[in-house]
Structure 1
Amino acid sequence: MSKRYNIQNLEELQAYLFTLKSGYMMQEDMLKQNAKLYVKQYTVSNLIKKYATPSSFMKVDEKLNVSSKMMSLVLPIIMNSTLFRGSGFMTKALVGLATSKMGKSLDAEHLSSIFNSVKAWFNKPKKTTKRTMQVDYGIPPDSETF
C-alpha cells in the first residue's frame, strides 16, 4: 500500500521534503530531551537524594531488619577481636552466640538511642550562668534626680 502525494512540480517536492526534515528534527530534539530527563532520574546523586533519607532507612529497616542482621554479624566479631582477644575457643564461641542473639534484638531505634546516650557522655554539659540584667531607664546613675 503506497501513499499518494499530490505533488505537481519540483518546488512542491522540495517544500514537502523540508517539512518532513523539520518534523523529524523536532522529534529528534524531543527524544533527546526526554532521554536526558530519563537518564537524569537514575543518576547516583538523584538516587541518593530520593532513597537515602533517614525516614527511608527506617522504613527499609522495619521491613527487612537490616540493622539487626548486621549487628548480629558484626557484634560478635567486634567483641571477640577487642574485649575477648586472649580468651580461648569456648569463651569466644559463647560470646559469639550471646552477642549474635543480642544483635538480633537491636533495631535502628535502639541503635540510635544507644548512639545518642554514648554521645551525651562525651559532650560536655553546658554551664548556665545567670546574669542579672539591670534595667536602664536612660538616667545616668550620677544624676541628682532622686
Structure 2
Amino acid sequence: MTKIRPHIQSLADLQSERLRLKSSYLLREEALKSNAKTYIHQFSPLYFLNKLTNSKTLFKIDEKTNITGKMMSVILPFILNKTLFRGSGLITKTLGALISGKIGNSLDADQITGAISHIKSFITSIFSKSEKKSKPLNFADYGIPPDSETY
C-alpha cells in the first residue's frame, strides 16, 4: 500500500504542509492525553469508591443482596435489648431479639429511607409550629384618631 503524499512544488507549499502536520500532531497529542486521563480516572481507587457509594448503586446492590435487612436483623435486636428490654429477663430478651430480627430482615433500603424522611418531616413540622406560635406584631397606638388633620 502506498501513501499518497501531497505534491510540493515550492517553499510555501512545504511550509503549509509542515504547519498542517504540526497541527495534526498537536490534535492527536491532545486526544491521547484526554483518553489517557479518562482511562486512568476510570480505574483509580477513588473512582471505584465513588461508584460503589453512589445511592443508586447502593439501592441496586441492596435489591440483590438485602444488605440493609441483614444489618437491621443484627442491629435492631441489639438496640432493643439495650434500650427497651434493659431490665427484662432472658426469655423476654430472647423473644424480643427473635421478633425484631425477623422484622429487621424484612426491611429494605427504601423503607428505611422512607421512615427517616417521615421522622425528619415530623421534626421540622414541630419546629415550624413553634415558630408560628410567636406573638403577632402589635402596632403602637399613640392616640391620634384617624379623622384628625395630622393623620
TM-score w.r.t. the length of structure 1 is 0.57
Partner of 2:145: none
Aligned residue for 2:141? Answer: none
Unaligned runs of 5+ in 1: 1-29, 128-146
CA deviation map 1:20-61 (0-9, x unaligned): xxxxxxxxxx9xx96x87664333321122222111111000
Q: Aligned runs of 1:93-112 on 2, under 5 Å? A: 93-112=94-113
Q: Does 1:78 align with 2:79?
A: yes
- SS where residue 83 of structure 1 aligns? coil
Q: CA separation in 2, counterparts of 1:92 and 1:48?
A: 39
Q: CA deviation at 1:92?
A: 0.4
User: 3-state SS of the aligned residue for 1:68?
Assistant: helix
Aligned to 1:64: 65
Aligned length: 95
Superposition TM-score, scaled by structure 2 size: 0.55
Q: 2:128 aligns with which of 120, 125, 132?
A: 125
Partner of 1:85, secondary structure, is coil
Amino acid at match of 1:96: A
Runs of 5+ in structure 2 lacking a partner? 1-31, 133-151
For the residues of structure 2 that align with 1:51 and 1:69, how far apart are their CA atoms?
19
- In 2, Cα distance between equivalents of 1:121 and 1:59: 28
**For residues 50 and 111 of structure 2, what CA distance do their matches in structure 1 show?**
25
Post-superposition Cα deviations, 1:73-109, rounded to whole Å, max 9, x if no partner, equal 1100010011111111011001000100111111011
Q: Secondary structure at the match of 1:125?
A: helix
CA distance in 2, matches of 1:63, 1:117: 25
1:116 aligned to 2:123? no
